[in-house]
Amino acid sequence: MKRVSSPPATPLMRMATRVLAGLIGVVLLVGCSTLDEGVASDAVPASPTPESVAEVTRTAPGVTDAQVLFGQSAAFTGPAAELGKNMEFGIRAAFHEINMLGGVHGRELALYSLDDAYEPEAAIANTFSLIDETQVFALIGAVGTPTSRSAVPVAFEADVPYIAPFTGAEFLRNSDLANVVNLRASYYQETEEMVERLTTDLGITRIAVLYQDDSYGRAGYNGVRIALEKREMDMVSIGVYTRNTIAVKAALLDLRRGNPEAVIMIGAYQPVAALILWARHTGLDAVFMTVSFVGSNALAQELGPAGVGVFVTQVVPFPTDSTIEIVKDYLRATRELSSWHDPSFVSLEGYLAGRLAIAGLERCGPEPTRECFLESIRNTGLIDLSGFELNYGVTDNQGSDEVFLTMIGPDGEYQPVSTLRKISP
């Protein structure tokens, strides 16, 4: 079949014009913004390539009589690769599940994924490619704050839905971003839970922060700062490291100067693991906590025995708790797609993202448009995903406020934590 393509245009002129327009629009909406080419991940069987899109689309780009095509730019290589692979797998599991039942209104759902290696420049190029050349219906499951900050202006200017990015960054919660739909709780909510548990349960007053030197790290840093200011407290020390590196020794030296009782870490699993390992080696006796973006399974594997007692906030239920209906669905869907996949918080979030997209299409009816898709999610109240409830509204583009505290146990597995009082640091 012939590939659907945009009218001929000079690529550099088109990119410059659209980036400028997108930046202006989003800067006006959210106050500040800064603007990763890739290959499809081989973690699961490949989706149909753009060449399989039918020549004529009826109601919207990416929609044919047989298929609705979604696009994803995420990290499939580099230090954040496990996050992208697991998000992709979860989305594919949800799509595979509905496709086995005949699809949505007779159309199968497909996902076309590109690797941005967690780099903003590649995310921009991928987003242009997915919108202009692949002509996807919507973007789903992006990974990261710096990549989303770069890609959202492009999607916003093109009126393309940007669904369930794997980030809790506050700028994405601005309701004026009419094309953005968040699934998860924000980093502000995760860091508030951390500070509340540390101060209330353990009486800790000396809290330090390690953060990645980019918009993701600063989003988490600001969340901790706000939570501490609410309690009239200050950070005792701060450590900073560069994205996509594990160069954390200088940051550790800076953290040690404050003699912290607890360290909250805003980073990816490899540098966070490196920091904890070096801290343990040098005798820094502190409580270590990190946010959900870290990638829980990957972090536990990187740390090995040194991970015991490390806390991670989560924004989705335990991925092995089959007593929860949505988790039971997830476990069944992932087994049907692949027998090798280990359940994880990240792939569960990807599965929820896929289920959210399915719910939006189901509500649209047999002739889906991007406008109807967004309207059906954002302005129709409660969306119940097998007991995992999402609530949206005209001024609320975030579905869930749930935050769960977990800890790595002696067996290397995560266990739920409701209070720190009975746990020795």
Where residue 34 sits, what CATH number does that domain have? Answer: 3.40.50.2300
Query: Domain check: are 300 and 343 in the same one?
Result: no
Tokens, residue 269? 């699993």
List Cα–Cα distances, 185 to 170, 188, 190, in angstroms: 10, 8, 7
| Region at 117 (left for phi over 0; alpha for psi -120 to 50; beta for the rest) | left
Nearest to 357 by CA among 139, 57, 86: 139
Residue 399 lies in a domain: no
**203 and 271 share one domain:** yes
Q: Whose structure tokens read 């502190």?
A: 286
Check if the beta carbon of residue 355 is closer than 8 Å to that of residue 162: no
pLDDT band of 423, cuts 50, 70, 90:
low
| pLDDT greater than 50 at residue 21 | no
The answer, yes or no, to whether residue 80 has pLDDT greater than 90, is: no
pLDDT at site 39: 40
Domain-located, residue 16: yes
User: Over the stretch 389-399, which tens digit does the pLDDT of each residue have?
Assistant: 999 988 899 99
pLDDT tens for 49-61 read: 554 444 444 579 9
Mean pLDDT of 230-251: 95
What is the C-alpha separation between 258 and 142, in angstroms, rounded? Answer: 36
What does 168-187 look like in DSSP terms, one character per residue? --GGGG-TT-TTEEB-SPPH
Instruction: Examine the pLDDT at 166 and tell me if it is beyond 50.
Output: yes
The CA-atom distances, in angstroms, between 12 and each of 15, 16, 17, 30, 31 are: 5, 6, 8, 26, 27
DSSP letter at 71?
A: E
Closest residue by Cα to residue 420 from 196, 197, 156: 197
Both 288 and 217 in a single domain?
yes
- What pLDDT is stored for residue 277 in this prediction? 96
Among the listed residues 49, 36, 193, 255, the one whose alpha carbon sits nearest the alpha carbon of residue 125: 36
**398 in any annotated domain:** no
Supply the DSSP symbol for 245: -
| pLDDT mean over 80-85 | 92
Q: What angle do CA 286, 292, 298 make, to 5 degrees?
A: 85
Query: H or E stretch including 256?
Result: helix 249-256
**Residue 300 and residue 353 share a domain:** no
23 has pLDDT over 60: no
Higher local confidence (pLDDT), 6 or 137: 137
- Side chain identity at residue 406, one-letter code: T
List Cβ neighbours of 366 (8 Å cut-off, separation of 6 or more): 105, 106
- At 40 the pLDDT is 41
pLDDT tens readout for residues 198-214? 999 999 999 999 999 99
Domain-embedded: residue 6: no
102, 34: one domain: yes
Reduced 3-state DSSP string for 40-62: CCCCCCCCCCHHHCCCCCCCCCC
What SS3 state is found at 352?
Answer: helix
* Percentage of the residues of the chain whose pLDDT score is greater than 70: 85
Q: What local confidence, expressed as pLDDT, does residue 341 receive?
A: 87
Same domain for 191 and 174, yes or no, is: no
Beta-carbon contacts of residue 282 (< 8 Å; ≥ 6 apart): 252, 256
Regarding whether 350 and 413 lie in a shared domain, the answer is no
Rounded average pLDDT over 159-177: 95
Total domain count, the chain: 2
**378 in any annotated domain:** yes
- Taking alpha carbons only, the member of 349, 337, 305, 258 closest to residue 46 is 337
The DSSP line for 211-242 is: EESSHHHHHHHHHHHHHHHHTT---S-EEEE-
In a domain, 4, yes or no: no
Residue 235 lies in a domain: yes
193 and 249 inside one domain:
yes
- Per the DSSP assignment, residues forming a β-bridge with 415 are 407
What order do you get walking across the sheet with 404-408 strand by strand? Answer: 238-241, 207-212, 262-266, 287-290, 311-314, 404-408, 414-417
Residues 17 and 53 in one domain: yes
Residue 122: predicted pLDDT: 97
State residue 49's pLDDT score. Answer: 53
* Minimum mean pLDDT range among 28-42, 124-138, 311-325, 389-403: 28-42
Say if residue 107 is in the same domain as residue 243: no
On whether both 120 and 16 belong to a single domain, the answer is yes
In this prediction, residue 422 carries a pLDDT of 66
pLDDT in tens, 314-357: 999 999 999 999 999 999 999 999 888 899 999 999 999 999 99
| Summary mean pLDDT of the chain | 87
Q: Which domain holds residue 89?
A: 11-184+323-391
345 in a domain, yes or no?
A: yes
Do 308 and 328 lie in one domain? The reply is no
Looking at residue 379, its pLDDT comes to 85
| pLDDT above 50 (res 259) | yes
DSSP 2: P
